[in-house]
Chains A and B, each alone.
Chain A
Amino acid sequence: MSTEEVIPSGQLASPGRHGSDPLIEVSGLCADYGFGAGAVHAVLDVDLTLRRGEVLGLAGESGSGKSTLAYAITRLLRPPGIITAGRARFDGSVDLLSATEHELRGLRWNDIAVVLQSSMNALNPVLRIGTQFADLLRAHRPGMSRVAIRERSAELLAMVGIPADRLTSYPHELSGGMRQRVMIATALALDPAVVIMDEPTTALDVVTQREILEELTALRDRLGFAVLFISHDLSLLVEIADSIAVMYAGRLVEQGPAKAIFRSPRHPYSLGLLNSFPSLHGPRRTMEGIPGSPPDLRTPPPGCAFHPRCRYAFDKCQAEPHPPLLPLDAGSRAAACWLQDGTRTRPDELALEVRP
C-alpha cells in the first residue's frame, strides 16, 4: 500500500480547545498477522494524529484492528503480527517504527504509557503494589532514593483516590476498580505525554467506570497528557473524547470532533453504530442496529469492506477499491465513503448540519 494515496493527516484541523501540536502522527500504517498469501490484514492504511493534551477516542468492534493499531504504534505488536507499511512519528522527530529497542526503552513509559484492559493480568499477582511501583521507578529513574520512591508511590496512589496504606496490598486484595486505578497510576508514574488506554473500563461496573473516567479527565486537565482511548462503546467515547476515529475491518472509516460524529455522522457505519445504542430518553422506538456481522478478515469483501452490511451501498462500493478518507466540512473531519465524494446527493441522515 503506497502512502501517496493517503491524505496527509495535517489536513484535518484541530478539534478545539487543545493545542494543535501533533504528538503522534501515523500515516499509511498497515499491520498484518501472518505472512505471504495467508496474511490477515488487521490494520490497513491508517492515518491518525494525536495532539498534545487531546483525548482521541478510537471506536470499533472486536476485530476492527483498534488494539492492533495501538500495539503497532507502541511497537508492542508480537509475532505473528508485523508492521508492513507506513510511518509513525512521536513528537515530530522520533520515528517509532524504525526506533531501536534501546530508543524504545527510553520512550516507553517515560513518554508513551499503556493501560491494558485486563488489570489482573497486567499486575504481578505475587508482588505487593508498592513493590511493583518501586520496580518501575527504579528501572526508569535509577538515582531515586528508597524514601523518594516510597513518597512518589504514595503520591501516585493518592492521585487516583487510593489510600497509601494499600501499597502493602497484593493485587487480589483490591477490587477490580481499584486495580484499574493502580494501572492508571503506574502509567502516569513518569509523567508521560501520551497514555494509550485499551478498553480500560470495559470489565467494570458503570458506577466504577464513571468514577475512573472522572478521575482520568481531572488528571488529564491537571497534567496535560494526551490519551488514545480505545473502546467499543461509542456512546461513552462521545462523552469523554475530544475527537473520535471509527475503525471498521482494519480501516479508519470516519474521523472528526466527537460531538460532530455524534450529531451528524458522515459514514453509514458510524450512523449504524450510533443507532446500536438505545437512548435513555424520549419515546422508545425500534432500532435496527446493523444487519449482518463484521467481515472475516481472512476473506474481506471486495471494494468497501462495509458494503455488504450497508443499506446505502451502490455499484461503485463493490466495484472500486476501498474509498479513501475524504476531507469534509472544511477539513474539520473526514469519512471514507463514496457517498461523500461530492458527486452524489447524500441521504439526509448522512448530511446533517453540524451545529456548533
Chain B
Amino acid sequence: MTEQPRAAGDEREMRPVSVSGNGRGPVLEAKGLTKHFPVRRARLGVGVPAVHAVEDVTLALPPSGITAVVGESGSGKSTLARLLARLIKPTAGSVLLDGKPAVAGRPYARAVQLVLQDPFASLNPVHSVRYHLARPLQVHGLTGGASLDSLVTELLERVSLTPADQFVTKYPHELSGGQRQRVAIARALAVRPRVLLADEPVSMLDVSIRLGVLNLLGDLRARDGLAILYITHDIASARYLADVITVMYAGQVVESGPAAVLTDEPAHPYTQLLLSAAPDPDRAAPPPLAGRGAPPNLIRPPAGCRFHPRCPHAMAVCAQTAPPAFALSAEHSSACWLHAHDLTADQSRPLQGNGRTSGHEPGPGEERRSGTPEPTT
C-alpha cells in the first residue's frame, strides 16, 4: 500500500522478493470471500434470489509463488479474480494486502494487477503498443526521470518481445495472439505490481505458443518475486506451472494442495472426476467417469456439499451439512466428509441413487485413492 514509485534507474534489478514488513507471509490473502449476485433489483423488505458465485473462499498468495485455481466454467474462478482485483465488492469476507485490509484505488492497483483471458479484446485496437504501455506509467506517475520510451522498451524486453523498437509502433491487429498476450502482461507489469492475477491467460492462444506464455509467468515469478494467481480450466497446465493448486466447484474450494500431490493423489471426488476426464494420452484407456452430470444451479445451490448430487460416494451427511476443509497434511486439504473419522452410522449411510449413472463399481485402489480414507470408522 505504501509502494513508492521507484526511480527509473534501477529497472534491471527488480523489486526485492518481499517488501512487506511481515517477512515471508502472503502478499495477498482472501479470507472467507463471498460474492452473491442478486438476479434482480431488491424491493423493500423482500429477499432477492442471488447467484451464489463465490462462497467462503480463503486463499493466500505468497511472494514468489504461483497458485493455480482450477475449475469448470461457472465455478466462480473468474469472480474470485475480480474480487481479488477489487473490481467488484465482496458480499462478505475480506481481502488483505500485506496483512492489512485492502482499499480499492490506485495504490492497490499498483500492487495487484489483472491479466485477462482474451488479448483480442483487452487491448484497444486504435492504440499502439507504446500507448498501452506508457499509459499506466503516466497515470501512476512512475516515469521518474527516465524517458518514457526507455521504460516501454524495458517492459517489452521483460516479456521477450524483442527487438523492442519493432514492436512499440505496432497496433494490436499487427500482432499474433501470443504477442498480444505478452503486451497485456507487459502492461500489467508497468506499475511494478507484486501480485499478478492471470485469468485464463493462455486459453485463447494457439497450442504451440501457450507454453511460451506460461514459461514467461514462471520467469516473472523466479526473477521478480511476483506472486501469481493462475486461473485455468486446464489442470495439466496448472500442474506444470503452479506450486499450489486450488480446485473450485460451484463457488467453493473443494481441495487445495501442492500441485504434484494434488494431481497424483487427488483426495476430493470432484478432483478425481476432473482428472479422469482430462485428456491424458499416457494412460491406456480413460477410466469410467464417476460423477456425471453438470454443476448445480447457483441460485438455489444444493444443501450440504454442493457436489453431493453427483458424487458417487455421497452419504447422508453430505446432503445436510457442508463439509469443512479436512487437513490431510500441512499443505493439503480437502472439503469432503469421506475424510471425517467420527461420523455416526446414520450420517455415513450411502445416499440412494447416487453414482448409479456411472454404471460401474469402483475397483480396489480406484475408489480409495491414497488420500481418501474409508468413509466409515
Which residues on the A side are within 8 Å of B236 (C-beta)? Answer: 277-280
Partner of B277, one of A61, A210, A278: A210
Report Cα–Cα, A31/B376, bound state, in Å: 64
8 A Cβ contacts from B262-284 to A: 263-264, 273-282
The A contact surface, by secondary structure, is: loop
A353 lies within 8 A of chain B by Cβ:
no
Is the beta-carbon distance between A210 and B207 smaller than 8 angstroms?
no
Which residues on the B side are within 8 Å of A280 (C-beta)? Answer: 235-236, 239, 263, 275, 278, 280, 282
- Mark interface residues in A257-299 (1 if CB within 8 Å of B CB, else 0): 0000010000000001101111111001011111101100000
Chain A's interface size range is: 35 or more
Is the beta-carbon distance between A289 and B282 smaller than 8 angstroms?
no
Which residues on the A side are within 8 Å of B273 (C-beta)? Answer: 207
Nearest chain-B residue to A209 (Cβ)? B277
Is the beta-carbon distance between B207 and A281 smaller than 8 angstroms?
no
Is the beta-carbon distance between B207 and A293 smaller than 8 angstroms?
no
Which residues on the B side are within 8 Å of A239 (C-beta)? Answer: 279-281, 286
Partner of A207, one of B179, B215, B274, B281: B274
Min Cβ gap B301→A in Å is 17
Which residues on the A side are within 8 Å of B240 (C-beta)? Answer: 278, 284, 287
Partner of B206, one of A208, A278, A291, A294: A294
Is the beta-carbon distance between A62 and B279 smaller than 8 angstroms?
no
8 A Cβ contacts from A196-219 to B: 205-211, 214
Which residues on the B side are within 8 Å of A307 (C-beta)? Answer: none
Which residues on the A side are within 8 Å of B280 (C-beta)? Answer: 235, 239, 279-281
Min Cβ gap A343→B in Å is 28
A175 lies within 8 A of chain B by Cβ:
yes
Is the beta-carbon distance between A210 and B289 smaller than 8 angstroms?
yes
Report Cα–Cα, A287/B291, bound state, in Å: 32
B303 lies within 8 A of chain A by Cβ:
no
B208 lies within 8 A of chain A by Cβ:
yes
A236 lies within 8 A of chain B by Cβ:
yes
Most A CB contacts (10 A, CB to CB) among B177, B179, B281, B282 go to: B281
Is the beta-carbon distance between B239 and A233 smaller than 8 angstroms?
no
Min Cβ gap B184→A in Å is 16
B-binding residues in A (CB < 8 A): 61-62, 175, 177, 205-211, 214, 232-236, 238-239, 262, 272-273, 275-281, 284, 286-291, 293-294
Pick 15 A–B contacts, CB within 8 A, sort by A.
A61-B206, A207-B273, A210-B276, A211-B292, A239-B280, A273-B207, A277-B236, A278-B236, A280-B275, A289-B208, A290-B208, A293-B176, A293-B177, A293-B206, A294-B176
Known: A207-B72, A208-B294. 9 other contacts (CB 8 A): A177-B294, A207-B274, A209-B277, A239-B281, A276-B207, A280-B236, A280-B239, A288-B215, A290-B209
